Amino acid sequence: MKEQRGTFRTIIQFAQDCKLKFILSVVFAVISVAGGLVPYVGVYQMILLFFEGSPSPDVILFWSGISALGYGLKLIFYGISTTLSHQSAYQILENIRFAIAQSLMSAPLGEVQSHPSGRIKNIIVDRVETIELPLAHMIPEGISNLLLPAAVFLYLIAIDWRLALAALICIPLGAAVYGVMMKNYNTQYAAYMEASNRVNSVIVEYIGGIQVIKAFNRSSGSYEKFADAVDSFKQFTLNWYQSTWKLMNLGGAVLPSTLLGILPMGMLLYLDGSLTPAELTLGMILSMSITAPVAWFTVAVNDWKSIEYAVKDINELLTLPSLPDTARNVPLSSYEVKLENVSFAYNKDGGDVLHDINIRLQEGSFNALVGPSGGGKSTIARLIARFWDVNGGSITIGGTDVRKMPLAQLARMISYVTQDTYLFNCSLLENIRLGRPGASDQEVMAAAEAAQCGEFISRLEGGWSTMAGEAGGKLSGGERQRIAIARAILKNAPIVILDEATAFTDPENENKLQNSIAMLTKGKTLLVIAHRLSTIKHADQIILIHQGIITASGTQQELLEGSRMYLDMWRAHIGAKKWAATGKKVTEADSTEALDIGAGGSVDADRRKGVMAGA
């Protein structure tokens, strides 16, 4: 597990490339504050003129000009400071999002999958966004709100230190009120975030499951759950508000009331002759400029809290463990894949899913994994592609442990086609090009034609440039799978893994696609996971997996003769096929036929032809 950083350190870590902008933002904020003080000096000078009884229009105009200039400087530099801080904040947001994406890419697949996709989206999009506003405003506003009262305070001291102290009397009073109000702030805020997350997940579930809700006419029951969650969140927020509003308003009234102290103290000092009327007036005006900054701090505390929680969520993804990677490509002697004494568990408490697995997939050979569902077939395929690391034993390709080669090299070597084809929201052409990003349009189209995609793509209004999002709903499972196969054809990797890759294929395209698969897998080290056993009957090696253990392996002929379980599976399969075709029950003769099937020797491409139909 990577180190979890605190809020401040996390933000600083992502602010490295915008350090200069941050510093400039601070400098300009300071200039802006200095500019903001000028009008006070100008006003003081004008007050003096009036009290001295010699206000000439020229001098008044001069000080008005100076004040306006100071105010103008304040606005301009505040504007620049805010622009820079916004740019920095967005840069930080971008850096955080890239870092999360990187963290997800380098984490074992299981780690990523253990976070619901709604939660990941919520963190990358919404939670990261939460920190922008406070972050962008924290610097210019924080600087002015810290420096301005400090400068005003010094100015007040210069007039009379007693007046200065009196101006601050409201701060301990207001702070005491806020202190009482915020007694349970941390626990309340944590409960608020929990309630907010709860309502989020109910909403995601409601929207995500809307098809099932409609199909089973469960709208009223599901809506109730949704409405309850929204209502209880509202209730929670209201209760929190109600428990604090009196103190919040009292604090809000007391904290900025600098006149509370300065007025009586100023009068006393004026009466005993320590202050001139001009100084008293200036003191009162100055003290009022402290009020807004002081009130800002209450907002800042809340903002910081929201940043703290957002960073906590962000860190949840940033600190995912990553699969160790190496940089240097490894020269391989062959594309033989070997699993030696492999054991694996998805999670420590769940127990081993694979036990002491030994498999050798010779270079260029056709291998099949079969067995009851949940036996561990897909797990083996995922381990070869190194979506996870094995817990015991090793997986080697061409004699090199997959953990010792760069993930990128491994990814280049393997085409892994599964049942669920994910389409990215770009054109179908680009979706296929993912197989080999440098491929030309012609190459992509040729691969797509080979995978029998051409016919359905030409039916779409936008053709090749149809966005997958638009087409997604219109594409059948089989069509999506053909896109995945086109990607793999384009990639042309030396090791091909087909995990139920063509389970949804429509019968009318079955034969054509068989040819494409045969082409795709020709000469490759091929591993097929299949339910339809007739499609893998010509494999060089069939491996039967049951409950994470290899119970038999060999050719179809050997398994039919040597494994009761395989024979039963084969009979069931042939029975299902016959039943589907004729409505007849399986007979003894069928299993004899089964025994005969494996005997024929056929050329490599023909043997691999059957793969698609059942894979």
Residues that bind ligand ADP (CB under 6 A): 110, 113, 346, 353, 373-379
Q: What would you measure as the largest C-alpha separation in the chain, in angstroms?
A: 124
CB of 477 to ligand ADP, least distance (A): 18
CB of 369 to ligand ADP, least distance (A): 8
Closest CA relative to residue 481, chosen from 509, 461, 458 = 509
Closest CA relative to residue 67, chosen from 31, 29, 36, 32 = 36
CB of 365 to ligand ADP, least distance (A): 21
DSSP 301-320: HHHHHHHHHHHHHHHHHHT-
CB of 384 to ligand ADP, least distance (A): 12
CB of 119 to ligand ADP, least distance (A): 16
Backbone angles phi, psi at 323, to 5 degrees: -70, 130
The residue to which tokens 């990215």 are assigned: 424
CB of 425 to ligand ADP, least distance (A): 25
Closest CA relative to residue 415, chosen from 307, 496, 472 = 496
Closer Cβ to ligand ADP, 116 or 462, answer by number:
116
Token digits of residue 370: 């079969």
Backbone angles phi, psi at 553, to 5 degrees: -155, 155
Task: Give Cα 315 to chain centroid, integer Å.
Answer: 11
CB of 27 to ligand ADP, least distance (A): 52
Closer Cβ to ligand ADP, 240 or 346, answer by number:
346
CB of 355 to ligand ADP, least distance (A): 12
Closer Cβ to ligand ADP, 373 or 582, answer by number:
373
Closer Cβ to ligand ADP, 79 or 351, answer by number:
351
Closer Cβ to ligand ADP, 304 or 346, answer by number:
346
Is the CB of residue 56 less than 8 Å from the CB of residue 125?
Answer: no
Closer Cβ to ligand ADP, 475 or 503, answer by number:
503
Closer Cβ to ligand ADP, 383 or 439, answer by number:
383
Amino acid at 90: Y
CB of 482 to ligand ADP, least distance (A): 22
CB of 536 to ligand ADP, least distance (A): 14
Is the CB of residue 397 less than 8 Å from the CB of residue 410?
Answer: yes
Closer Cβ to ligand ADP, 37 or 353, answer by number:
353
Q: Hey, which residues does 337 pair with through a beta bridge?
A: 361, 397
Task: Give Cα 577 to chain centroid, integer Å.
Answer: 44
Closer Cβ to ligand ADP, 39 or 371, answer by number:
371
Strand order in the sheet with 354-361: 354-361, 337-344, 392-397, 400-401
Rounded distance, CA 255 to CA 175, Å?
7
Closer Cβ to ligand ADP, 127 or 531, answer by number:
531
Rounded distance, CA 453 to CA 437, Å?
18
Q: What are the b/e assignments for 445-470, b being 16+ CB within 10 Å?
A: bbbbebbbbbebbeebeeebebbbee
User: Dihedral (C-alpha) 12, 15, 20, 25: value to the nearest 10 degrees?
Assistant: -80
Closer Cβ to ligand ADP, 149 or 375, answer by number:
375
CB of 117 to ligand ADP, least distance (A): 14
Q: Enumerate the H helices of 345-476 as residue ranges.
A: 377-384, 407-413, 428-433, 441-450, 454-459, 468-472
CB of 541 to ligand ADP, least distance (A): 17
Rounded distance, CA 159 to CA 63, Å?
20
CB of 539 to ligand ADP, least distance (A): 17
Rounded distance, CA 555 to CA 235, Å?
66
Token digits of residue 498: 């087909």
Is the CB of residue 339 less than 8 Å from the CB of residue 395?
Answer: yes
Closer Cβ to ligand ADP, 65 or 110, answer by number:
110
Backbone angles phi, psi at 354, to 5 degrees: -125, 140
Radius of gyration of the chain (CA): 36
Rounded distance, CA 308 to CA 310, Å?
6
Closer Cβ to ligand ADP, 348 or 585, answer by number:
348
CB of 346 to ligand ADP, least distance (A): 3
Closer Cβ to ligand ADP, 280 or 530, answer by number:
530
Backbone angles phi, psi at 321, to 5 degrees: -65, 145
Is the CB of residue 307 less than 8 Å from the CB of residue 133?
Answer: no
Rounded distance, CA 385 to CA 339, Å?
12
Rounded distance, CA 337 to CA 1, Å?
30
Give the 3-state secondary structure of residue 238: helix
CB of 500 to ligand ADP, least distance (A): 8
Task: Give Cα 445 to chain centroid, integer Å.
Answer: 32
Closer Cβ to ligand ADP, 310 or 395, answer by number:
395
CB of 417 to ligand ADP, least distance (A): 14
Q: Hey, which residues does 541 pair with through a beta bridge?
A: 367
Whole-number Cα distances in Å, 15 to 19, 26, 30: 6, 14, 20
Closer Cβ to ligand ADP, 90 or 346, answer by number:
346
